[in-house]
Amino acid sequence: MNDLIKKLEAYRLENRISQEDLADKLKVSFSTVNRWLNWRTEPNKIQSYHIKRLLEKRGSK
């Protein structure tokens, strides 16, 4: 799972997206994204699915 979070943070930084905007895109709270990016929690299966879809959209550009 750590790799997924690393990719998510790279996506956020590359696209200059705030944690709040990233949370909006993933339909989760800011605090949820913050906990992921600070390694306090990991996304559940559904959240991981949505993260992967977001990252796949990036690859199709």
Residue 21, domain CATH: 1.10.260
Predicted pLDDT of residue 1: 58
Q: Write down the pTM of the prediction.
A: 0.86
CA atoms within 13 A on the CB side of 45: 0
Q: 52 is in which domain, residue-wise? A: 2-59
Predicted pLDDT of residue 3: 94
- Rounded mean pLDDT, 6-24: 97
Do the beta carbons of residue 22 and residue 12 sit within 8 Å? yes
Question: By 3-state DSSP, what share of the chain in percent is helix, strand and coil, each rounded to 5?
Answer: 70, 0, 30
Question: Nearest CA to 34 among 51, 49, 22, 50?
Answer: 22
Q: How confident is the model at residue 48 (pLDDT cuts 50, 70, 90)?
A: very high
Number of domains, the chain: 1
Residue 47, pLDDT > 80, answer yes
